[in-house]
Structure 1
Amino acid sequence: MEEYNEMLEQMNIQHAIIGDVTTSLPDILQDLTKVRLASLASACNLPGRSKMKKQELIDALTAYMTDAEHLQSALLITGGLEWKLFESLLRQPVLQNNLILFEHYWYLMNRGLVFTYFSNGQLYVVLPDEIRSAYAQLDNANFHQQRMSVQLVNEYILALTHLYGAIKPDKLIEIYNAQNSEPLDKEQFMRLFEKLISRNQSYAKAKGYIVDSYLWPEQSPGELEQLLLQMKGKQQYIPKREELLKYADEDYFEMTPQLIKLKAYILKEICRDAEMVEHLIDDIQLACTMQAASADLIFEFERRGLKFQSMEQADIVVALMNDVYNHTRLWIYGGHTPVEMNRISGNVELRAANRQLSPLNKNQVSVTKIGRNEPCPCGSGFKYKKCCGK
C-alpha cells in the first residue's frame, strides 16, 4: 500500500503546477507552460489557437471556459466521481489531498475547469473563482435535469456494452425505451452519443456497433469481428432496469451461488485473509468473462502466494471454477451464461456451451503478471484493466 500511495502521489505531482496556490483563472493560466496552454486550447477546440501568443491564449481560454454554454456542455458529460469532486469544490474551492485518484480529476483538468498545485509538499485541487462564478449563472434546475438525462443514457451505454461487448444503436434505443417512460428517438440519442464520445470513454463506435473499449480495433485487432460472428443469431439476455443499470459500474458482476461456493471453499481451506480472497474472486470472475485459460486462473492463486495442499484440493478448485465459468454471463452468448444457452437451445449446444477447464499444472503461469484491479505500471494512475490491460 505504501508503494501504491507513493506512485499515486508522484502521478499527481507530475500533472500539478509547482508553486503557490491561486484561485484566479488568468493567474493559473499564466502559471502554465505554453505547451500546457496549447494542449488545453486543443481540448477546448479553440479556433485560431496555433497562431496565438501566450497572453492571447490566456485571454481566449479565460473567455471560452467562463462562457455559460461551453461550461454547461463540458459539465453535462462529467462522470459521477468527477461531478462529486466538482460539487465539493463549489463548496470549498481548494481541496488538499496528495492521494486523490488522477482519474477523478483528469477530465475536469483537461477542460480547464479545475487545476492542481503542488506547494510545500502538499497537493491542492483548485476550482478557479471565475469558473465558480460562471457556474452560478446557469439555470440550475434546467442544468440538473439535462445532466440527469445525459447520465441515464450514458449509464445504459455503459451497462449494455459491459454486458454484451457490442450492441447496435437501434437495439440500445429499443431497450432504453422499453424501460423508461420518456422515449428516446435515434436522432436525439445520436446527438447525446456524439457528446459523450467527445471525451475518452470506455466505449466507441465501430462497424455500426457501440462497443466496449476492449474491442477497439487498435486495442484488440480482430476481436470485434470474432465476437460478432459468435453472437450472430443468439438471443440477448435483457435484465430488468434495476439489475441492468448495475452493469454501468465496470466492477459490477453477479455474485452467483457458484462464486459464493468457491469463495467459501477458498476461505475455509486455502486462505483466511478475507480481503485477499475478495480480490481473488473478483479477478477469477473477470477472467471467466474473458474466457481465460486455466493458466490465467491458476496464476490468480500463484501471484498471491496461495498454494494447493494436494492434487485433490486442486481438482476441487478446478471443478468449482468450472461451475463458476458455466454460470458467468458471456459476450459470445449475448449476456447469457453457458448454462442458460443450453436451456435456450434445448441442449443442442450443450457441449459447445459448457466448458471444462484443463487440469491445473503447477508449472503453468500466466503471461500477464499484473492483477487486473491493481494500478497500471505505465503510471497512468488508472487500474490495469482500464489502461494497458484492455
Structure 2
Amino acid sequence: MEHTRYTVPKEELYTSPVFSHDLLRSIMDTDDALNLELLHNAAISATPEYSISACLEAYSKDHLKDLAQDHELHIPSSYRKKQVVGKIAPHLVSQFPKMLPYFPHRNLEFLTRFKENPSIEIAHDALRFRDISHAHNYGFLYLFKTGDTFTAVVPRELIPALHMLDETTIWDTVSLHQRLNAYAVSLSNLYGVLDIDQYAVVWNRFESETLTPAMVADELVELGKVQYYWWFEDELVISSYFQNELEVAEFLDKVKQVSYYAPSRDDLVKYFQTPYDDESPAANAMLEFLSGYRLPDGEQIEDLMDDISDTCIVGEGMQDVFDLLNEYGLLFTGMEEITRFTELYAQMSDHCRKWELRGHTPVGLKKHSPSS
C-alpha cells in the first residue's frame, strides 16, 4: 500500500513575518525632546523655495557636498556652489522614482500629502521626524523654519513621481523592502559581517517568501542606497561599524571557522534594536556598577555602556577598554574598583555574542565543543 505524506502549506508554517508592520512603525518612534531637536537641526531658516535648484541653494556648500556623497556623486573640489547644485539637481529628479519604493512606510504616507501641493505648513509639535527622515536626508524633501511653524516642501519637479503611490501594489513592495532592511540591520548587528548565503538561510527559515542569495543581493544593493546602518559589498552585508574594506578584510582574518549562530525570532527583533543583549544579567550588572559614577561634560552612562558593549562584541583588549573609560572621563579611585570592573567586563565578554565567533557567545561555544 502506498502512503502519501501530507506537506503543510508554507503559509501555515509562516503565520506572520518576524518584523510586522506595527513593530517597524513603533521602532521608529522617538521621544518629544529628541524629535524636536532632530527637526530643528534639519530645518532651514529661510523663506520656502519650491524648485529643486532653489531648495538646494538654501543649503551650505559643505552640506551639498555631503548630500552628493550620499548619492555617490563625484564633485570636483574646484566647483562653485552653483555648479554643485547643477550636478545634484538633475540626479535627484532622476533618482526619486527609483528610490521611493525603498523608503520607510511612514515617509511614503507623509509624501502622499504632496501630490497636489508642493508645500505643507505644520506646527512644530505636530511633525515627527520619522515621517520625513529618509526623504529629507536624501534631498527629496526640504524643511523650512517659519516662525512657530515648519513648511515642508517637495520640489515641484518631484511631484509627478508621487503619483506612483496611487498604485496599490507598491505598498506591498515597500513592506517587503522594509522587512529585508530589518533583517540586514539585525543580522549585521549580530554577526558584524555576513555573506548573502547566510542572510538567505535565516530569511527562508522564518518568512513565507522564498529568496535566493541572488535575489537578496539585488534588493540589498538598492536598499543600501537609502540607509546608514549597514553596507553591501562583494556579497557581504557589513555593519556600519566598519569604515572601509580594509577594516572588513582585517576583521575577516580574525573570524573563527565556526558555523553561524542560528538566531531565533526573538533574537532578530532584539538585535534589530541594539547590537548587544541589554537584558542579560552580565550587562545589567555592569550598568548597575557604572551608574554609581558621574561623568563629566554631560556624558551619559548609557552611551558609555553602549561603547563598552561594542568592545565586547568586537573583541577589543582590556587596554582599549580602559582607554575608552579615559575618553569618557571615568576614573577609578583604587584597585578594588578596577578589579570589580575587570570582573564584570570578563563576565560580559564571556556571555556576549561576538562577531569573531559568528554570533556565538564564548560560553555557549565552549559548552558545545567536542572537548567540553
TM-score in terms of structure 2 length:
0.67
CA contact (8 A) 1:159 1:249 kept: yes
Q: Where do 5+ consecutive residues of structure 2 fail to align?
A: 1-33, 74-81
Structure 2 match to 1:212? 239
Q: Secondary structure at the match of 2:183?
A: helix
Q: Secondary structure at the match of 2:272?
A: coil
Residue 72 (structure 1) shift: 4.7
Residue 226 (structure 1) shift: 3.6
Given candidates 127, 141, 155, the residue that maps to 2:182 is 155
Q: Which amino acid aligns with 2:219?
A: L
Structure 2 match to 1:74? 99
Structure 2 match to 1:322? 346
Alignment of 1:346-365 (within 5 A): 346-347=370-371
CA contact (8 A) 1:44 1:111 kept: no
Residue 315 (structure 1) shift: 0.9
Moved more, 108-117 or 164-173: 108-117
Structure 2 match to 1:190? 217
Q: 1:217 to 1:89 in 2, by over 3 A?
A: same
Given candidates 78, 100, 114, the residue that maps to 2:141 is 114
Q: 1:102 to 1:291 in 2, by over 3 A?
A: farther
* Distance of 2:72 and 2:248 partners within structure 1: 31
Structure 2 match to 1:248? 272
Q: 1:280 to 1:104 in 2, by over 3 A?
A: farther
Residues 28-65 of structure 1, C-alpha deviations (whole Å, 9 max, x = no match): 4596699869x77x9599xxxxxxx99xx79x959x84
Residue 327 (structure 1) shift: 0.9
* Distance of 1:97 and 1:252 partners within structure 2: 34
Structure 2 match to 1:236? 260
Residues 239-263 of structure 1, C-alpha deviations (whole Å, 9 max, x = no match): 1123213323356534211111222
* Distance of 2:263 and 2:106 partners within structure 1: 26
Residues 151-191 of structure 1, C-alpha deviations (whole Å, 9 max, x = no match): 11111122212211222212211211111112113343232
* Distance of 1:197 and 1:180 partners within structure 2: 21
Given candidates 175, 193, 201, the residue that maps to 1:174 is 201
Given candidates 286, 306, 313, the residue that maps to 1:289 is 313
Q: Secondary structure at the match of 2:261?
A: coil
* Distance of 1:295 and 1:332 partners within structure 2: 19
CA contact (8 A) 1:204 1:213 kept: yes
Please report the RMSD computed on the Cα atoms of aligned residues, expressed in angstroms: 4.7
Q: Where do 5+ consecutive residues of structure 1 fail to align?
A: 46-52, 349-390
Identity fraction in percent: 20
CA contact (8 A) 1:12 1:123 kept: no
Q: 1:316 to 1:149 in 2, by over 3 A?
A: same
Q: Is 1:142 aligned with 2:166? A: no
Residue 235 (structure 1) shift: 1.6
CA contact (8 A) 1:72 1:143 kept: no
Q: Is 1:344 aligned with 2:368? A: yes
Moved more, 164-173 or 209-218: 209-218
Q: 1:265 to 1:294 in 2, by over 3 A?
A: same
